[in-house]
Amino acid sequence: MDDLSLLSASKTPVPHSPEEAQLETFENSHPDREYTITFDCPEFTSLCPITGQPDFGKITIDYIADKKCIESKSLKIYLFSYRNHGAFHEEVTNLILDDLVKACSPKWARVTGNFLPRGGIAIHVVAEHGKR
């Protein structure tokens, strides 16, 4: 647990981009059991890469851990870093999945982006890794 620097920090600045953010992990105490971990981020924001206007949505992450689990405070800070990041909803959802897989190599993972309507159209993006 000594390598969980963000969790033990009393003040943590939000990175300017997802590339600067750090997803921290800890050992899965039950790697022999397949159980699903779910994170909900109902106040997700990113920026439209064309207009620079904010996009609002909900990000849900479901995964089955292998040897490592994602530490929730580092995930929160990582997701906050998208507030300054311009990308389309499809890219955002897939980037989150790629970074999650890179950080903890889960047996299976799904990232769902439910973005609020802009111009009368809501966008829902689901990206998966591995087999459930």
Q: Which active-site residues does the annotation give?
A: 48, 55
Helix (H) or strand (E) holding 5: helix 5-8
Tell me whether strands 108-118 and 54-64 are parallel, antiparallel or unpaired.
antiparallel
3-state helix, strand and coil shares in percent for the chain, rounded to the nearest 5 = 25, 40, 35
Q: Which residue has the tokens 């990000």?
A: 59
Segments in 9-124 forming alpha helices (H): 72-80, 89-104
Phi, psi angles (nearest 5°) of residue 64 = -110, 115
3-state secondary structure 48-61: CCCCCCEEEEEEEE
